[in-house]
Amino acid sequence: MYNIAYFCSLFATIMGISSAFSCTLSRCRRPVSTAYISNKKLCMSSTSTTSSSSGTNTISSDNNELYQERSDILRANSKLSLAPMMEYTDRHFRHLVRLVSDRTLLYTEMVAANAIAHEREAALPPSSSSSLLDGASAEELSFDPSYLLRFLGQGHNAEGASVLQLGGSDPDQLFLASKTVYEFNQLAQIHQQQSSSNNNNAPIFCDYTALNLNCGCPSPKVAGKGCFGAALMQDATLVQQLTSSMYHGSQGSIPITVKCRIGTDEGYQFTRDQYNARSDEEEYQSLKQFIETVASEGIVTDFQVHARIAVLGKNYSPADNRKVPPLRYYQVRRLAEEFPELNISLNGGVETLSGVKRELDECQELDGIMVGRGWMSNPWAFAMSDELLYTDGQQLADSTRPKNRIEVLQAYGQHADYEEERWDPVKIRRFITKAASQLFSGEPNAKRYRIALDEIAGLPKKLMKEDPKLMEVNLHYQNLYWMQRQNI
C-alpha cells in the first residue's frame, strides 16, 4: 500500500523537486494491509436518502424533493463534464478529476445493465425475491455488496456531481439496474450510524446525481452484437421506454439523461463523399424527431450530443468513429437554440479548457461541453476550469481542493491507501496508478515518472508470484530499496 502513496516522493526525486513534503506521507510506508480479505461486507454511506418503499412505482413526495435537489445539482455543474470512457473513467480516475475540479460533472464508464441484473440476482438473500433491502439491519447486510459495488461503487468519498451511465436495450434489466442504485441509497440510510461509528468499515458511496442511457457508443460489440449504444438511435420509441423504466426503477428520485449522436448511417452506405452530399436538413430533422420522441414524456430533459454520426454499417472501430465522420457542431447548436426548455451539451472534438470556453461563448444556448480525451491525456490542464467557467466566487473561495500537483498526489495517495486496504492490491493497483499516469503530461522527466509508476504498479503481482506468504515482508523491503535507489 505504501508504494502507491510513495510515488509522490518518487516523483519529487525524479523531477528534481524538494522532497520535504514526503514526510507527510510517512504513514503510508507500511506493509500492505490484508483487511480486504476479511472486510467483505462493506457498509455504505450517502448524502441523500429517500423514504419510499422498495418494489413500488409510486413516487413519494420525499423522492420528488430528492429528484429536484439532484436536478438542481445537475444544472449547476453542467458547463464542463467528463465524458464516459470505457476502461478510463473508473472511480480512481474520477477521484483524480475531482481533486482537480470541484465542479466538473463526472461520468462513469458505461456499465452494462445485464451485468448489474445478473449480480443483483446472485446477491439477493434466499428469503427475498425482489429487494436488496430485505433483512438489512444496522448491524450487517444480508448479502455481500462487493460484487455489485465493482460496477456501482464511488470510492471512499462522495463524488459530488456525478452520473452513472448505463448500457442496454432491455427495459426490465434497466429497471433492475436503476432499482439497485436506488436501494443502495436506501441501505446508506440504514447503515449511516454504523458507518460513522466504525472506522474500520469506512463507507462506500453510491450516490449519483443522475442516470444516463448510452445511445452513442458505436463499438461493434455494443451497437452491433449488443444492439444498444448508438444502435438505439434507430428506435426512439424504444429509448423512450428504456428511460421510463430507469425513472421508475429509481422510484423517481434520480434524473434520467441520454447521451447520443447526431445520427447514424442507417439507410445508406457511408463514405465521406456520400455523407457530404446528403442533406443537412434531413439529418437535423431526424435528430430533432429523436429528441422530441425521447423527451415527450417529460422524463428526459438533458441530452449530451456527440456532434458526429455513428457509422454502424461498416466495421469501424470506436477510434474510427471519433475521426472519420466529420464534426457538425452547428447541428447541436441549432438543437440547443430550438429547444431552450431542454439542457443540451456538446460532445466531440473539444479537448482543451480554452476550447470549452470558446464553444460556450459562441453558443450561449448550450448548457455544457463534454470532454473526454483532453481530461485523459492531461488532467492538470483543466485545473482552472472552476474559476474560468463559473462566477459564483464565494463557493470557489470556499474550495479546499489541492492547489498544485504535489498536493493532488498527496490526496490521491490517501485514496490509494483506502482502496488497497479493502481490495486485493494484486488486482487493483494497476488501475489505481493508471489514473495518475498523465498528471504531469508535457513536463520534463514525465516519462521517467510514468516508467517508475508502472514498475510500482506491477510489484504486488510480481511478489505474489514469488511467494504469497512473504508478499507483505517483500513489499516492506522493496520500499527500502526504492528509498535507497532514489537517495531519499
Task: Tell me the C-alpha distance between 464 and 458, whole Å.
Answer: 10
* DSSP states along 98-159: HHH-SSPBEEPPPEEHHHHHHHHHHHS-TT-SS-TTTT--SS--SS--HHHHHHH---SS--
| Residue 469: other Cβ atoms inside 10 A | 8
Task: Tell me the C-alpha distance between 478 and 202, whole Å.
Answer: 28
Task: Catalogue the E-assigned strands of 21-156.
Answer: 44-45, 80-82, 106-107, 111-112
Which grid cell sits at 190? 440504514
Q: In 3D, which of 154, 176, 155, 156 has the Cα closest to residue 166?
A: 176
Task: Tell me the C-alpha distance between 252 and 55, whole Å.
Answer: 13
28 is catalytic: no
Beta bridge pairs of residue 260: 215, 305
CA dihedral 460, 466, 472, 474 (to 10 degrees): -100
The single residue of 23, 217, 227, 363 carrying the catalytic annotation is 217
End-to-end CA distance of the chain: 19
Going by DSSP bridges, is the β-strand pair 210-215/204-205 parallel, antiparallel, or unpaired? unpaired
CA dihedral 328, 331, 334, 340 (to 10 degrees): -110
Task: Tell me the C-alpha distance between 473 and 476, whole Å.
Answer: 5
Task: Tell me the C-alpha distance between 390 and 91, whole Å.
Answer: 25
Between the CA of residue 123 and those of 69, 120, 167, 422, 441, what are the distances in Å? 30, 5, 21, 19, 42
3-state secondary structure of 144: coil
Show which residues are catalytic.
Answer: 217
